[in-house]
Every structure is written in C-alpha cells, then in structure tokens.
Amino acid sequence: MSENTYFSPPSVSPATGAKLESIPEGIVPTTSSCTVSTDKVTLIPISSKERLDAKIGLLRDMIKHMETFNDYDGDKVAIAKLAARVVNEFDNDIIHVYNLSLKIVTDTSREIETLTYISLENLHLYSSRYKTILDSIIDIPTLIKAAIDSNILNHLPAQESIGYKTKLESRTVKLTVLRSEVENKLISVEAKIDHERRLAFDDDFTLVSRKKPVKREDPNPYDTRPKRFQSSHY
C-alpha cells in the first residue's frame, strides 16, 4: 500500500496569518483549464460550483461509512487495507475542496484588484461568491473531527493511524486559515457595498437640497403694489 507524504500543520495561527498555498493532490484528478460557462448569480464557474457540491456530498457519505466501519468482519489485514483506502480517499477529497476553494478565492481577489471601479451590482456578485465558498468549507472541520473520532482509524496499524490523524488535523488548520481569509475579504467587499450605498444616498439628498426654495415676502400693510399672485398671503 502506497504512502502519501504527511503534511504537518503550519507553524502560524489563523490570527497571525499564513501564506495560502494549494496542497499537492496526489491521485486526485484535476481538469485542464478551459473556457466554461459562468453562473451569473455567484460568478463562480458552474463546473467548479458543481464539483464543490459533489465533493462535499461525498465527504458526508464517507463519514456515515466510517461510523459503521466496525460492522466489517473477516481478515484484519484486508479490513486494514480497506480502512486505509477510505481514509485516503476522504483526505484526497478534502484536499480537492481546499484547492478548488483557494483557486476561486485567489482568482476573485486578483479580479477585484485589477478593476479601477466596481459597480454596486458587481460588488454584490463578489460578495455572493465569497459567501458560496464559506458555505462550502465551513462544515468541513466538523467532518474531519467526525472522521478522526470514528472507529475506522482503530483498524489501522498504530503508526499509520497516527499519520492519517496528523494529516487530517493539518487540513483543519489550513481550512481555518482559508476561512479567516475569505471572511476578511467578504468584510472588505461588504464595506465597499455600504460605501457605495451611502454615496448613492448622499447624491440623492444633494439633488433634493439643490432645489431653489420659493421666496415669499412677509405681508406689508404699507405696500400699495397690486397683490396679483400672492394675494392670499395678505
């Protein structure tokens, strides 16, 4: 059984920031770059969004499988190999979700930085994109914890079990850093949205205040001029 390189957790905490880098995906297949249609609501390529949803669905199903792994009886070596394959596939799917999410976040940030002006409508679209990523990764640390707490690792040799646990814990750290990064970018976009709304409100208020008021003179009993248009004031 082939062994993947173990990845130790980053030495920095999410609070201090960390350089976000993709994780080598090993046997996880990746598609070549190509022109794809775009989801107009989130600005995320439809293929990427579908892949994220599909992978997260697989992760949830695999957790259910891990939690019932003790139901298997038979050759311990064969069961250990099956357990290792399931955990390895679970880890690879997490890597795939992380790398795909990181790519979308990086591309979005680069796109925003290249624009000299972003309309309010497009700001909402960028906000929707970041929220989609958050929705995709927010529950994965919980799924990782469920995998670690399941019985499946008990079927592996001690050293191998520790190795997989270390790798899975490192994924949690990376996902926490990525989540913090996305939340900060979302806050920045939401601040721009609020700024644009205030500008639009100020412009409307200025247009109203620029109207010239009607000048009405106070009544004067000594004024003998004809009171043709404002006679009701006297």
- Is CATH 1.20.58 correct for 46-209? yes
pLDDT band at 27 (very low <50, low <70, confident <90, very high): very low
This prediction has a pTM of 0.66
Contacts 24+ apart (CB under 8 A), 204-213: none
Nearest to 141 by CA among 89, 201, 97: 97
pLDDT higher than 90, residue 145 = yes
Task: Give the 3-state secondary structure percentages of the chain, helix then strand then coil, rounded to 5.
Answer: 65, 0, 35
Report domain extents, the chain.
46-209
Rounded to whole angstroms, the Cα distance separating 150 from 146 reads 6
Share of the chain above pLDDT 70, in %: 64
Rounded to whole angstroms, the Cα distance separating 125 from 111 reads 12
Q: What's the confidence (pLDDT) of residue 197?
A: 85
Distance of CA 37 to the CA centre of its chain: 20
